[in-house]
Structure 1
Amino acid sequence: MTTFYLAENGAPVDVDLHQLVIAGWAGRVQAAIDEHIEELKEIGVTPPSETPLFYRVAANQLTVAPEIQVLGEQTSGEVEVVLIGTDQGTLVSIGSDHTDREAEAWSVAHSKQVCAKPVGAQTWRLEQVIDHWDELQMASYATIDGEEQLYQEGPVTGLLHPTELLRSFGLDKPELVSGQAMLCGTLPVIGELRPADAFRVVLKDPVTGLELQHRYAIKTLPVIA
C-alpha cells in the first residue's frame, strides 16, 4: 500500500498499486520524436515499435521514499508527470523515471525495470488542472559534487495531453483505474545525461501559483563481478 496526500487539505489517499506504466516516446510532435529516435540509434538504442510506447514496470518499483539505491555509476533521473488511479479519482504527482543508461543501450524496456521510480507523495486532483493543463511547467535539478544544477525545464506542451495519452493507452476518458500509475513522458536534458548524488523534480501551476516537488538521494552500490 502506498499513501499519497492531497495538497489541497493534506488528506491521505491509500493506493494498492498493481500496475506501473512508463509512457515512452510520448511527444506531441512526430518530427521531434523521429529526430530523437535517430539520435538514439546512433548510440545503439533500438527504435521503438510504435509511438507512444507503454513500458510495463513492476508496480513495487514506484516509491515515495527520500532515497533510492542503484547499481553502478551509469544511472540518471528524468522528470515526468505521474498520474495515479485511486478510488477518489485520478491524482497528479511529479516523479522521476530513473534509468540505467548502460542497460538502455541494449534494451529500453529492461533499463526501465532496473531502477526504482521516485514519486512525490503530494498530489493534485487531475480534475483541478486538466482544464488548464498546457499551462503547467516541469523542471528537474541534479545535485552533482554538492552543487544543484538545473537539468531539465519546460512546459508540458511538448508531451501528449493526458486525454490523448490515455486514449492511446486504450482508455476513452482521462481516468486511470484505481491501482494504476503512469509516468507520462519527459523533457530534453540541458547538456548531456549525467549521474547525480540527488535529484529534485518540480511541477508548477502558474494559474494557481501552486507547485509539487520531490527530492530524492541516490546511493550507488558497487558492481561486483
Structure 2
Amino acid sequence: MLTFDRIAASGTDRVAVEVSTLVIAGWAGRDEEAVRHHIEELAAIGVPPPSSVPVYYRAAAANLTQAAVLEVLGPDSSGEVEPTLLSLADGLWLGLGSDHTDRKAEAAGIALSKQLCGKPIGTTLWRFEEVEAHWDALEMRATATIDGVETLYQQGPLAALRHPRDLLARGPALPPGSLMFCGTLGAIGGIRPATRFAMELHDPVLGRTIRHAYDIAVLPVIS
C-alpha cells in the first residue's frame, strides 16, 4: 500500500492506495526536436530508438516505492523526474515520481530496464482537474548529488511534454488503481548516476510545490 496526502480546493485528506497497474509513457515530449535530443542522448549510451512515439511500457506495480533509500544493483542506474497520473475512484490525481532506470540494461532492452529498478514516487497529490487548464505553466526540476556535489540535473516547464489528455487518448485505459508516468525532460550535462536524487513539481499559478527525494544505495554485482 502507498500513502498519499491529497490536496484539493475542497480540502486535504490522506489515503492509502493499492496500485495494481503501472504504465510508463516514453518519448512523451511535445516538441519533436526535444524528443529527438532525448533519443540521441540515450543512443550515446547504446539505447536503441523506440518502436513508436509515444510508447507505453508496462512494469510491475510492486516496483513503486516511497522509501527514503532505493537499492539498485551495480553503478549504472539513474533517476528521471516525471509527473505521474494516478487514477482513483473519484478521478485523476497528479503526483511526482522518478523513472529510475538501469542504463546498462536499457542498452539491451528498454522494457527490461524499466522493470529492474524501483520507481520512487512522492507522497503528495493534486487533483488533476485543478491544474489541467494551466498544465503548460507547471515547472519540473531535479537535482542529483554526484561526487558529493548537488547538481542541477533536469529543469523545465511541462509545456515540453504532451498534455496528459493527449497521452490518455493515445494510450491504454487507466481504471482506478492505475498509475502512469507521463514523460521526462532531457538531462542537463547527460545521463549519469548519483548518490541522491531530489525532485520537485511547482505550480506558479496556485503557488504550491510537490517535493520528493531519495538516496541511492548501490549493491555489489557478484558473479
Range class of TM-score, shorter chain:
over 0.9
Tell me the distance in 1 between the aligned counterparts of 2:191 and 2:45: 13
> Structure 1 residue 196 and structure 2 residue 155: aligned?
no
CA separation of 1:170/1:98 partners in 2, compared to 1, >3 Å: closer, same or farther?
A: closer
1:12, distance to aligned residue in structure 2 (A) = 1.1
- Cα offset, 1:35, TM superposition: 4.8
2:182 maps to 1:184: yes
Count of matched residue positions in the alignment of Structure 1 and Structure 2: 221
1:43 shift after superposition: 4.1
Aligned partners of 2:184, 2:70: CA distance in 1, in Å?
20
Q: Give the Cα separation in 2 of the matches to 1:21 and 1:186.
A: 14
1:178–1:200 distance in 2 versus 1, CA, 3 Å:
same
Match of 1:19 in 2: 21
Do the aligned residues in 1 keep the contact of 2:38 with 2:186 (CA within 8 Å)? no
- Please state whether the residue corresponding to 1:11 is helix, strand or coil: strand
Work out the CA distance in 2 between the residues paired with 1:153 and 1:39. Answer: 16
Q: In the alignment, residue 134 of structure 1 is paired with which amino acid?
A: D
Q: What is the aligned partner in structure 1 of residue 120 from structure 2?
A: 118
Q: CA deviation at 1:208?
A: 1.2
Q: Secondary structure at the match of 2:131?
A: helix
- 1:151, 1:35 → 2: CA distance? 15
Matches within 5 A, 1:19-98: 19-38=21-40, 40-41=42-43, 43-98=45-100
Whole-angstrom distance in 1 between the partners of 2:44 and 2:219: 29
Distance 2:12 2:21 in 1: 25
2:222 aligned partner:
224
Shift, 1:204, TM fit: 0.2
Deviations 1:160-189 (A, max 9, x none): 001101101145xxxx42110001000011
Deviation at 1:39, TM superposition (A): 5.0
Equivalent of residue 208 in structure 2, options 186, 207, 210? 210
For normalisation by structure 2, the TM-score amounts to 0.93
Give, in angstroms, the shift of residue 90 of structure 1. 1.0
Corresponding residue number in structure 1 for 2:170: 168
CA distance in 2, matches of 1:133, 1:210: 14
Counterpart residue type for residue 116 of structure 1: G
Q: Is the 8 A contact 1:15 1:178 kept in 2?
A: no
Aligned partners of 1:67, 1:26: CA distance in 2, in Å?
Answer: 27
Separation in structure 2 between the aligned mates of residue 26 and residue 78 of structure 1, nearest angstrom:
13
State, as a whole percentage, how many aligned pairs show the same letter. 51
Q: Which shifted more, 42-51 or 62-71? A: 42-51
Deviates more, 1:85-94 or 1:153-162: 85-94
Q: Deviations over 1:103-154 (max 9, x none)?
A: 0111111111110000001110101100111100000011223322111000
Distance 2:142 2:131 in 1: 20
Distance 1:2 1:43, change over 3 A: closer
> Which residue does 1:4 correspond to in 2?
4
Residues 64 and 10 of structure 1: is their aligned pair in 2 closer, same or farther, counting only changes over 3 Å?
A: farther
* Separation in structure 2 between the aligned mates of residue 214 and residue 202 of structure 1, nearest angstrom: 6
- Do the aligned residues in 2 keep the contact of 1:76 with 1:101 (CA within 8 Å)? yes
The answer for unaligned runs of 5 or more in structure 1 is: none
Bigger mean CA offset, 51-60 vs 1-10: 1-10
Aligned CA-pair RMSD: 1.6
Q: How far apart in 2 are the matches of 1:35 and 1:196?
A: 22
